[in-house]
Structure 1
Amino acid sequence: MVSKYLILVIIFLTQLISIGVNASSSSDNIKGGDSSSKTASQKPTKTSWWPFRKSQLDNKQQFTQSKIEIDKNAKEPKNILVGSFVGGLSHLRPSLEICKILIERGYKVSESYSQMYRNVALVAPGNFTSHANYPSIKQYSTGPEHNTKELSSIYQPIFEKPYDYNSFFLEKDEADNQYLERYEIYKQSTIDFKPDLLLCDLLNNEACFDVAWKFKIPSVGISSSLSRRTFAPYKSDPIYGCHSNMENESFIERFKCLIIRPARFLYESRQRIISLNEKRVSVGVSPISSSLERIKNSLFLADTFFGFEIPHPVPPLYQEIGPVMQDSYPPITPEISSFLSSHKRIMYVSFGTQVYTTPENYAILLQSILEAIDRNIIDGIIWSLSGLEDFPSTISSSDETQLDTSEILHNLYTHIYVTNSSSGLAPQVSILEHANTRVFLTHGGVSSCHESLYTGTPMLILPFAFDQFSNAEKLEEQGIALKLDKKNLIMDDIVRKIEFLQLDARVKVNLKRMQVLAKINSKRKYRAADLVEFVMKASQLNPKKFKYDDDDGNEIVKESVDKNVPNNDEGKKSTEKESNNENSGETSYETVYNSSPPEQPIIEDIYEWLLKEWITPDTRMGFIRGKYLDVYGTVLTLLLSLILIAVWACWSVVSFIVNSVASLIEGKLKAD
């Protein structure tokens, strides 16, 4: 053992001496043979090591300078246009959180916080007022604020009747009717704001993606779910009258939910796609065959996470980035704080800002709440009203006493505290995070579900429409929530479920597990910002090709390189062109956006080169080759052929043996 260490020490000293000798000889070779160099070479501790060390420092300095230069170029100003059909903070939060991260990365040193947001603009209904987390955002309004109560002809059947694909088409048809108006707003905002990227909320927002296609600007889709974007045969959707997870369903149900009901949905969608394509053609946008065609090769971000979603394979272009949470939330008001402190077992009730139900359902819910309080299952309720509710004037308590609901709504009932949207939204996250909040009665919107999981609060879910049914099923399957039926609300069932969610030990364990997942995955909004940043940068590193026809009908392909990546061979021409543009009061970007697009743009998806690192080969190979059906079919044919040959050979051998034996027996019989 000692000899081993001795050998290592000798080797180390030998290497050290050789380095010194090499450094000394290189110094002598550089400086020549004059007396000054000889004198210097006699001081090995200083001079013989210095050239070697100096070269290291020079290399490091060059590397540092190049790195700084790269970072400087990487942080050039970029404009992001966020688009949403519905609007509202719950739909906009994921997009705005991503934009906030990108802006802080690029501008936190040189500009004040409020000035950063001049690089983000919003296309959405209503007037998005300055928010504590997202101030000073430029907005191009698409019309009045989305109000489901004012659109009762559409949303009343959706909220009050069983939700299926016919209900889905009610909202879809309204969105399609507004397509041309929204397309023009997106077009004008694109010309005015000159975005480098469009961040489009997926819900009924075809105009956003079509404008991105028209102007050849990268677009990134964002939504709260992957339900209809990815395929797994064991996954379905309550919109078809099926369960989200078909794992335990019978063959008949699995067949219906995989083949028959989706086929009916596609059949019903077909005429709507044709009608929308006619509007596309009228504004110079090419028609598509399905709602996924325009974005099949673009980046898609889903505000969801594993644990919340049913496990299934996800292609690289589809990225789960949720739950997207804000960095800070409004604090509890003094009035709510006082109520929370004086009650130890509180149920928080909120159905969002756009959902409402029937007066009969509100009566049953109030009766159930009063019954739960009388049984001492809970001792307090905080109900956040959106202003859309239509409560009955009176309700009956368990002892048949008639109660005036106005007393409850005006906080004259000791155990119930009601907040109203007219005085500002309730600080939901802060309420859920309070130790005395034991249960959350919610509609099951994805934002509310994420916030409840993040704070570890069990949920009693009353879904009304959209993805709320799927969310309720998935959370109930995880053992952290129970769901109610809007068409069959029963007081005893509600009270029993409120008690179960507070007392069951498995619910508490499952909640802790999901809370850990939610908090870990909430950091992925930074990953989302990375991906969006890559798309913006990649779009500037590739030539954009356009196709023209000359007077003789011959095809001409012209390449235009992005303004931030000048061609070195044509630097002088580029500079002269920019100078001419400046003199004429027109920038290159204005020329691109304000001039008419090419008469015949090349029919190719810009994402085929923009996101080539993420596009899986099977999408380019076609269905048969991409799924290797030709290879599997050949293997199956060969196996069947071999089996048939083996069967034929066995049959031939057996037949030969049988015939031979029969001939022998027959010959013997004849001989006898």
Structure 2
Amino acid sequence: MADSHEFRRRILLLATTGGFTHAAPVLEIGAVLASRGHDVQFATCAGQEDWTANYPFIKTVYTVGPAASEDDLDLHYETMRLWRHEHGFGPMMKSKYFFDNFWTDTYNSLRSLCEHDSTRPDFIVADFFADSAARDMLKQFNIQLASVWPQMPYAMAPVSYHPGQPGFQADGALTSEHASLSSRFWNEFVVLAALPTIIPWLIWTKRMRVDAGVNYSHSLLSKPDYLVLVNSFWGLEAPKELPPLMAPVGPILSDEYRPLDEDLAQFLSSHDRTIYVCLGTHVNLPGEELEKYLLGFIQALDDDSINGVIWSIPQKPRANFDTFKSYNLSDGSSISITDLMNDSHPRFRLPIFAPQRAILAHPHTVLFLTHGGGSSANETLFHGTPVLAIGYFFDQLCNSARLKAAGVGISLDKSYLTPSSISSAIANIISDEDGSFAMNVRRMQVIAALNSKRKHLAADLIEEVMIDQELRFKKGVELRPMHLQTADMHSFHGRETYVVILVLTANSGTGPRFVANKNRLCVSYNRHVGALWVVGDIDTLPESMDARALRTKTTVDNDEGEVETIRVNTFWFFLQYFRTNNRIVNLSTSANGPAENQHASGEEWGNTLPDTSFITSTVQNQLAFGGDTTGIKSKGEKGTCSVGKEFTTASTQTSEDMEIVMGPAIKDKENVWPLRETLMDLLRGD
């Protein structure tokens, strides 16, 4: 398929918030797809269009709303920097509010693109921060997607031997193998403890979506009904079983990277035990924290553990240094902050931005002090550099634990850092007395290199799911489930079809409980896509009732004249359910109930004819059981069906005026389409 020039599709890459590190793996997968002839486009927030500068195959860039302001980002990341394990995950919900707030603009922009043939993508590859809007496009336009995660997704594919919910391990416990009893308990309890903050977020999310005209919510899936690509690999991630639509495809890395400039090249060539330090672009440490690191490096220099330091510090934290301070080394020399800022000290280089991969690839880089971000974890393993990991928030904390568990370095807790703990960790890794660090670094380097080819697997899976999505539908009707979908998935049990014929009956066989119990009807209301045909019976409803009465009346007279209690407002419940979730394309509520004790659900065929004035011509012949709709008139007029019985059509547009109209039964089976055959015709698209 990858070599077929006929298989060319429009693929939209989507990355909105989180910085370029969120966009990079999405763009790299896009590069593979573009090399196969696909038209690859990019959508992002305004001001981030230059992310495509190194990806010339992208000719079309869409903006999906404004980007986050610098002030908002600073406040957000500072809040997260101060977070500690014992705080639980409640405070992290603030991040959900911050990033999820971009959903509205992203959703509206994507919907606008998908509504027009000239811009509608055939597939969406989305960063996980933006995949909610992409899932909306799957639901509304049947456009499949791949969500790209930096680690195994939250709450997906849980297994008994990983404590708690996936991604919510509060203390960094990766598996239950070595977890203490208290650790297991806390990891099971942490999500429950966060419910007071999770529930308001759920309410806020629902309100935000309703304000945008979206009246449904995405289910939390243990097995996704879309493709999930994880930019990690077994060895860094703790292995577990995965459903077919989830795949580790990392480390996703560019085939080329920025080389060393002349100054850094000379520095590394003359310092054969250099530590490279990078805490990411979002960690803005205050002066006292920066001083801890600097004193730790000075102590490591004095101990001769290292002889050079390359410390990549962005512009904002650089301003937090006290430029009036200086520090003495054991050899009698001194280090001033001014010298460090000017790169004039022979043992230090402090670039604002450093070519990280080129530095890690250099043989004189003996240690990487990292915050443990996903990109940094992948790159240090790929290039075979030991690590000292100090995570600050989100996946950094989990990656720090993973790097330690892989045996490639040491992890320190940000909350208890001291200069001596930093220098001691540096000395332990560099000395490597038993050789275990070097052995594990080499082991993980080979594993990472082999797995780095999997971005091509990611492209294969995207093409596989995309072509399956195209060819298992006919005229909007799903002919078969996804080929990568396991039979225990929810959508398998409630496979969606174009039309639902929902029969609300109450007779000696079903009793009024069938109408009253919405759970018995769940299969019906989970399977429809667009059109709905509601059939109202019945002997327990001998009189016509409008929708207003259906919401309040709770008793009816049965055939023997006795009063029975029945929640006839169940009909109203289902009608509102369909309306609220935008699942009704053509609504008809007309019922010609069976006469002479003949029940629609019994042996004799009852017949219900819909009001075709609101049903498209392409389906009206299929929905009319009589097969001949020429006698069907508009609202309130008399008409005849193919067997000559008279009926009255019902109102369908205004819920308050809606009627359930009773009428005579059609007993002639030969002139009535059996329900099963009608549904099969719709499924086949005949």
Q: Match for residue 368 of structure 1?
A: 296
- Is this contact kept in 2: 1:197–1:218, CA < 8 A? yes
Query: 1:309-320 alignment to 2 at 5 Å?
Result: 309-320=237-248
Q: CA shift at 1:247, angstroms?
A: 1.9
Name the SS of the counterpart of 2:367 in structure 1: strand
Count of aligned pairs: 475
Deviations 1:359-386 (A, max 9, x none): 2111110111122122221111111222
Q: Distance in 1 between matches of 2:587 and 2:180?
A: 62
- Is this contact kept in 1: 2:168–2:187, CA < 8 A? no
Question: Are 1:187 and 2:111 counterparts?
Answer: yes
Q: Distance in 1 between matches of 2:37 and 2:131?
A: 29
Question: Are 1:233 and 2:160 counterparts?
Answer: yes
Name the SS of the counterpart of 1:397 in structure 2: strand
Q: Distance in 2 between matches of 1:76 and 1:317?
A: 22
Amino acid at match of 2:49: F
Q: Match for residue 96 of structure 1?
A: 27
Q: Which moved more, 1:307-316 or 1:233-242?
A: 233-242
Amino acid at match of 1:279: M
Amino acid at match of 1:126: G
Q: Match for residue 169 of structure 1?
A: 93
Name the SS of the counterpart of 1:226 in structure 2: coil
Q: CA shift at 1:82, angstroms?
A: 1.6
- Is this contact kept in 2: 1:443–1:468, CA < 8 A? yes
> CA 1:144 to 1:440, structure 2 compared with 1: closer, same or farther past 3 Å?
farther
- Is this contact kept in 2: 1:472–1:481, CA < 8 A? no
Amino acid at match of 1:511: V
Q: CA shift at 1:297, angstroms?
A: 1.2
Q: Which moved more, 1:222-231 or 1:283-292?
A: 283-292
Q: Match for residue 405 of structure 2?
A: 477
- Is this contact kept in 2: 1:440–1:459, CA < 8 A? yes
Partner of residue 533 from structure 1, selected from 443, 463, 471:
463
- Is this contact kept in 2: 1:303–1:323, CA < 8 A? yes
Deviations 1:277-336 (A, max 9, x none): 22223334342264448x831111111111111121111111111111111111111111
Query: 1:185-224 alignment to 2 at 5 Å?
Result: 185-191=109-115, 193-203=119-129, 205-224=131-150
Q: Distance in 2 between matches of 1:409 and 1:298?
A: 49
Q: Match for residue 59 of structure 1?
A: none
Q: Distance in 2 between matches of 1:306 and 1:357?
A: 32
Q: Match for residue 123 of structure 1?
A: 44
Partner of residue 16 from structure 2, selected from 55, 79, 85:
85
Amino acid at match of 1:210: D
Q: Match for residue 635 of structure 1?
A: none
Q: Distance in 1 between matches of 2:410 and 2:13?
A: 35
Query: 1:333-352 alignment to 2 at 5 Å?
Result: 333-352=261-280
Name the SS of the counterpart of 1:319 in structure 2: strand
> CA 1:289 to 1:222, structure 2 compared with 1: closer, same or farther past 3 Å?
closer
Q: Match for residue 139 of structure 1?
A: 61
Amino acid at match of 1:83: L
> CA 1:514 to 1:559, structure 2 compared with 1: closer, same or farther past 3 Å?
farther
- Is this contact kept in 2: 1:122–1:140, CA < 8 A? yes
Q: CA shift at 1:87, angstroms?
A: 5.0
> CA 1:233 to 1:277, structure 2 compared with 1: closer, same or farther past 3 Å?
same
- Higher-Rg structure is 1
Q: Which moved more, 1:183-192 or 1:384-393?
A: 183-192
> CA 1:336 to 1:190, structure 2 compared with 1: closer, same or farther past 3 Å?
farther
Amino acid at match of 2:226: S
Query: 1:297-308 alignment to 2 at 5 Å?
Result: 297-308=225-236
Q: CA shift at 1:238, angstroms?
A: 5.9
Name the SS of the counterpart of 1:308 in structure 2: coil
* Higher strand proportion (structure 1 or 2): 2
Q: CA shift at 1:147, angstroms?
A: 6.3
> CA 1:492 to 1:337, structure 2 compared with 1: closer, same or farther past 3 Å?
same
Q: CA shift at 1:143, angstroms?
A: 4.7
Q: Distance in 2 between matches of 1:290 and 1:256?
A: 25
Q: CA shift at 1:345, angstroms?
A: 0.7
> CA 1:72 to 1:104, structure 2 compared with 1: closer, same or farther past 3 Å?
closer
Name the SS of the counterpart of 1:123 in structure 2: strand
> CA 1:538 to 1:166, structure 2 compared with 1: closer, same or farther past 3 Å?
same
- Is this contact kept in 1: 2:384–2:441, CA < 8 A? yes
> CA 1:432 to 1:473, structure 2 compared with 1: closer, same or farther past 3 Å?
same
Question: Are 1:154 and 2:76 counterparts?
Answer: yes
- Is this contact kept in 2: 1:223–1:301, CA < 8 A? yes
Q: CA shift at 1:265, angstroms?
A: 3.1
Q: Distance in 1 between matches of 2:46 and 2:429?
A: 38
Q: Match for residue 642 of structure 2?
A: none
Q: CA shift at 1:452, angstroms?
A: 0.3
Name the SS of the counterpart of 1:339 in structure 2: helix
- Is this contact kept in 1: 2:11–2:122, CA < 8 A? yes
> CA 1:135 to 1:395, structure 2 compared with 1: closer, same or farther past 3 Å?
farther
Q: Distance in 1 between matches of 2:148 and 2:351?
A: 31
Q: Distance in 1 between matches of 2:285 and 2:458?
A: 36
Deviations 1:553-591 (A, max 9, x none): 64999899xxxxxxxxxxxxxxxxxxxxxxxxxxxxxxx
Q: Distance in 2 between matches of 1:334 and 1:486?
A: 34
- Is this contact kept in 2: 1:234–1:246, CA < 8 A? yes
> CA 1:296 to 1:339, structure 2 compared with 1: closer, same or farther past 3 Å?
same
Q: CA shift at 1:227, angstroms?
A: 4.7
Q: CA shift at 1:446, angstroms?
A: 0.8
Name the SS of the counterpart of 1:152 in structure 2: helix
- Is this contact kept in 1: 2:29–2:458, CA < 8 A? yes
- Is this contact kept in 2: 1:147–1:354, CA < 8 A? no
Name the SS of the counterpart of 1:328 in structure 2: coil
Question: Are 1:261 and 2:185 counterparts?
Answer: no
Partner of residue 415 from structure 1, selected from 347, 352, 370:
347
Deviations 1:611-636 (A, max 9, x none): xxxxxxxxxxxxxxxxxxxxxxxxxx
Query: 1:236-251 alignment to 2 at 5 Å?
Result: 236=163, 237=167, 240-241=170-171, 243-251=173-181
TM (normalized to structure 1)?
0.66
Q: Which moved more, 1:195-204 or 1:307-316?
A: 195-204
Q: Match for residue 628 of structure 1?
A: none
Name the SS of the counterpart of 1:440 in structure 2: strand
Q: Match for residue 440 of structure 1?
A: 368
- Is this contact kept in 1: 2:231–2:248, CA < 8 A? yes
Q: Distance in 1 between matches of 2:255 and 2:12?
A: 22
Name the SS of the counterpart of 2:415 in structure 1: coil
Q: Distance in 1 between matches of 2:121 and 2:142?
A: 11
Amino acid at match of 1:173: Y
Question: Matched residues, percent identical?
Answer: 27
Name the SS of the counterpart of 1:187 in structure 2: helix
Deviations 1:623-665 (A, max 9, x none): xxxxxxxxxxxxxxxxxxxxxxxxxxxxxxxxxxxxxxxxxxx
TM (normalized to structure 2)?
0.64
> CA 1:328 to 1:538, structure 2 compared with 1: closer, same or farther past 3 Å?
same
Name the SS of the counterpart of 1:439 in structure 2: strand
Amino acid at match of 2:162: K
Amino acid at match of 2:204: S
Name the SS of the counterpart of 1:460 in structure 2: strand
Query: 1:497-576 alignment to 2 at 5 Å?
Result: 497-504=425-432, 505-541=435-471, 542-543=473-474, 544-545=476-477, 546-547=530-531, 548-549=585-586, 554=610
- Is this contact kept in 1: 2:408–2:437, CA < 8 A? yes
* Higher helix proportion (structure 1 or 2): 1
